[in-house]
């Protein structure tokens, strides 16, 4: 059981390290607000990952992602959200006198949900890779140990990422914050374009 736990932990670390829309959003929010104000973003992102991991481990998500229509709708919806959020991030500016006050918790939750659950690449990685590896364990209790390791990574990672964003911006606020916003926007647009390209290839071939 301990081996399965570390298997899930290490695999989740490998999957979560690349900076995609979800990571860049959490990092960006950590840079613009105090830790207490960015908690809605952290908790929503971690809970979203927890949900996807549980669905992957129990095998339900595998049935869903193989439905072509669902995958297409997920890709299109996610692309629209990513383009919109990228535009918002690109135009983002920081008012040092009103730090973080312009981001209501509902907006944080909504944006965090969109980059977590409407990103086809993240969903497929979680379902196919984590779900596939979890299926190697026959006993249910061992599979849950695997999932626990993966879930803990998400919670630790998003907390650390938000804190890291805060540390970065505290050293050079005027240059780091705009740079993080621009990088976040470019990553979201890149993922959106890549998703559309893959979707077009799937339908044309």
Tell me what the mean pLDDT of segment 197-204 comes to: 74
Tell me what the mean pLDDT of segment 155-169 comes to: 90
Distance (Å, whole) CA 10 – CA 143: 15
Task: Please say if the pLDDT value at position 15 is more than 60.
Answer: yes
CA dihedral 36, 188, 151, 117 (to 10 degrees): 100
If residue 10 lies in a helix (H) or strand (E), which one and from where to where? helix 2-16
The reported pTM is 0.75
Task: Please say if the pLDDT value at position 176 is more than 80.
Answer: no
Distance (Å, whole) CA 47 – CA 50: 5
Distance (Å, whole) CA 112 – CA 177: 19
pLDDT given for residue 145 in this prediction? 94
Task: Please say if the pLDDT value at position 66 is more than 60.
Answer: yes
pLDDT given for residue 39 in this prediction? 94
pLDDT band for 148, please (50, 70, 90 cuts): very high
Q: Which of 42, 43, 44 is nearest to 163 (CA)?
A: 42
pLDDT band for 74, please (50, 70, 90 cuts): low
């Amino acid at each position: 059981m301990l081996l399965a736990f570390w298997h899930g932990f290490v695999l989740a670390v490998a999957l979560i390290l690349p900076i995609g829309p979800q990571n860049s959003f959490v990092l960006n929010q950590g840079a613009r607000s105090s830790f207490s104000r960015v908690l809605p973003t952290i908790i929503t992102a971690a809970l979203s990952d927890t949900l996807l991991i549980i669905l992957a481990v129990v095998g339900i998500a595998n049935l869903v992602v193989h439905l072509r229509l669902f995958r297409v709708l997920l890709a299109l919806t996610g692309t629209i959200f990513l383009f919109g959020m990228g535009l918002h991030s690109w135009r983002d500016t920081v008012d040092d006198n009103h730090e973080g006050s312009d981001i209501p918790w509902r907006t944080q939750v909504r944006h965090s949900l969109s980059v977590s659950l409407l990103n086809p690449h993240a969903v497929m990685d979680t379902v196919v890779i984590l779900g596939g590896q979890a299926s190697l364990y026959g006993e249910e209790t061992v599979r849950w140990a695997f999932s626990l390791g993966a879930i803990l990574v998400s919670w630790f990672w998003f907390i650390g990422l938000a804190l890291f964003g805060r540390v970065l911006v505290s050293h050079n606020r005027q240059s780091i914050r705009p740079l993080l916003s621009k990088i976040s926007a470019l990553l979201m647009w890149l993922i959106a374009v890549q998703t559309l390209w893959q979707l077009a290839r799937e339908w044309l071939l």
